[in-house]
Amino acid sequence: MDLEPSVAVAAEAEPDSPIVATAYGPVRGFRAGKTSMWRSIPYAAAPVGSLRFRSPQAPESWDDPRDCTEYGQIAPQTIGKVPIDPNLTPGEDCLWLNVWSPATDGEPRPVMVWIHGGAYCLGTSAQKIYDGRLLSELGDVVVVSMNYRLGALGFIDLSSFSTPDHIFETNLGLRDQIAALEWVRDNIAAFGGDPGAVTVFGESSGAGSVTTLMTSPRAAGLFHGAIAQSSPATSVYGAERGASVARRYLEIAGVEPADVGRLYEMPVMEVIAASDALSDETSANAPGTLAAAPVVDGDIVPGYPVAAFKKGLSHRIPFIIGTNEEEAALFRFIKSPLLPVTPDAVNAMLRGIAEDHPDLSPERLAEIISAYPDVAKAKGAMAISTDAGFRMPSLWVAEGHSRHSPTWFYRFDHATPMLKAARVGASHGTELPYVFGNFGTLNVDPTFWLGGRKTALEISGRIQRRWLAFAAHGVPAAIDGSKHWPPYDEAKRLTLLIDTADAVVADPDRSLRETWGDEVLGFS
């Protein structure tokens, strides 16, 4: 979605109700401490009616200041699966973003654009944990967070069933993200941001979006640095698999291929209910895979991202990537089927890997399994799942990118005493409050029941200062005596281990990395 560059500037307004003019019309926000905030600014039209399964389109313009002090509809999803304010309402008018800014005048500030996670089917930028105020104030940066379409509306590839009357486009969630980044390019200067200094960052499927966008020609030039926290980089599927998933989706939705246009007319929550059912079925029948995920379409996603990184086809920008020490433990704790955490489920996942990679010999697979002595127990199963889903793909991505651009690799190892006692540890998503500085955002948050707040706040400060230095300078500089973090390369593989005291270690997962090699899940 291309727009004419905006030359709008901040309009006069009351100090507590800042008004900024965008390419589509003025928006009124509010002050929170030292920061101005605008919620639910539309970056695209509501994808309803004939736009439901199409690329995002520009919103209609408006003349009077639009109130942007409350959150609007969030992407349709089943509420209750992730921590979301129950007052938020799912709906299709969800293509909006939020902005936090220290000031709308003076020198342009670096911009950080957040892409939330949620397995491509859950979540919203309105979650309290993603509030960007503290990050904006600490770093004197403009923070942006976006919504995008999820589940069947955003990441199930129905394009093989398109007809002249009803067209279904690919990778709609990624198209939404690109449209949001185009809005940032064209409008963020009016909010005090520098459109030439944009860092995109995300976690889980948000990080998977980051690594995918880093190989998308359509996203080239829209951001100038990237941070990927726990990216499932290999959860991108081919067109044939995408068509198979779409066929099963139609069966669950009760829609005949000849009558596919019904999907444009179905109540939106029925569309989502069918994709939820498909997601559960996929997790049960093919552990370790997702029903809703990006697909290789030759356009937005020209090829498998991991292969693109290996071939040197990722955008030439500075890059931070890393994982958490015990990613899979969260999925065991919340009893989520999205990641296999039992020996049976992990064995099924490994059989699926072997089927998808016929060149992978039984001996090679056995060698990988033998590297995990507790594979018959939950501990070993979770270790394999962590490495297959997050750690190894992230290492492969770092290897490829480091051959041509500055790259930094980390492993988040810290867990509070309570999280250790609950056997959650440094699991998937536990670094999020450290990045944003937002602790206690759950209705019942046990994080500090056994202490550890002071240490956590110190670690949070270090992470935030590194992320902010990266956004400002393209280097996660050591600040306030923090451990120097050298770039990653294939010779030394220096990795920052984030814990009570940070440490830089050469190739900390060497034996497992060498056992896996770089061909098992890398796709060619």
Mean pLDDT (the chain, rounded): 92
pLDDT at residue 15 in the model: 62
Would you say residue 330 lies in a domain? Answer: no
Amino acid at 375: V
Three-state SS string over 311-368 comes to CCCCCCCCEEEEEECCCCHHHHHCCCCCCCCCHHHHHHHHHHHHHHCCCCCHHHHHHH
Residue 4 predicted with pLDDT over 70: no
In a domain, 251, yes or no: yes
Catalytic residues: 204, 327, 428
Residue 334: which of 519, 47, 119, 97 has the closest Cα? Answer: 119
Query: Interhelix angle for 343-356 vs 378-386, to 10°?
Result: 40
Domain that holds residue 131: 10-317
Residue 516 within a domain: no
pLDDT per residue as tens digits for the range 53-111:
999 999 999 999 999 999 999 999 998 888 888 889 999 999 999 999 999 888 999 99
Supply the pTM of this predicted model: 0.95
Examine the pLDDT at 520 and tell me if it is beyond 80.
no
Residue 337 is predicted with a pLDDT of 84
Report d(CA 170, CA 156) in Å as an integer. 8
**Contact yes or no for 443/83 (Cβ under 8 A):** yes
Going across the sheet that includes 26-28, the strands are 10-11, 19-21, 26-28, 66-67
Q: Say if residue 341 is exposed, middle or buried (CB neighbours under 10 Å; 0-12, 13-18, 19+).
A: buried
Residue 375 pLDDT class (50, 70, 90 cuts): confident
Helix (H) or strand (E) holding 228: strand 225-229
438-464 average pLDDT score:
92
Is-contact 516 392, C-beta < 8 A? yes
Q: Which two tokens stand for residue 39?
A: 């919620």
Domain CATH number, residue 145: 3.40.50.1820
Lowest mean pLDDT among 24-33, 192-201, 470-479, 504-513: 470-479
Cα–Cα distance, 397 to 392 (Å, whole number): 9
pLDDT tens-digit map of 319-371? 999 999 999 999 988 888 888 888 889 888 888 888 877 777 788 888 888 89
Percent of the chain with pLDDT over 90: 79
Q: Is 407 among the domain residues?
A: no
177 HSE (CA, 13 A, CB side): 35
Q: Is residue 405 part of a domain?
A: no
Whether residue 311 contacts residue 398, with contact meaning beta carbons closer than 8 Å, is answered with: no
Whether residue 10 is predicted with pLDDT greater than 50 in this model: the reply is no
pLDDT over 90 (residue 518): no
Alpha-carbon distance 75 to 206, whole Å? Answer: 14
Classify burial at 376, counting beta carbons within 10 Å of its beta carbon; exposed 0-12, middle 13-18, buried 19 or more.
exposed
DSSP-derived 3-state class of residue 432: helix
pLDDT tens column, 244-294: 999 999 999 999 999 999 999 999 999 999 999 999 999 999 999 999 999
Within-domain flag for 259: yes
Does an H or E element contain 176, and which?
Answer: helix 172-187
369 found inside a domain: no
Does the pLDDT value for residue 6 go beyond 50? no
Instruction: State yes or no: pLDDT of 170 exceeds 90.
Output: yes
Total number of domains constituting the chain: 1
Residue with tokens 């398109």: 162
The reply to whether 476 falls in a domain is no
Give one DSSP letter per residue of 265-323, joined into a string.
Answer: TS-HHHHHHHHHHHHHHHHHHSTT--SS--B--SSSS-S-HHHHHHTT-S-SS-EEEEE
- Tell me the residue type at 507: D
What does the pLDDT read at residue 5? Answer: 31
Query: String of b and e for 120-132 (b: at least 16 CB within 10 Å)?
Result: bbbbbbbbebbbb
Flag whether pLDDT at 143 surpasses 50.
Answer: yes
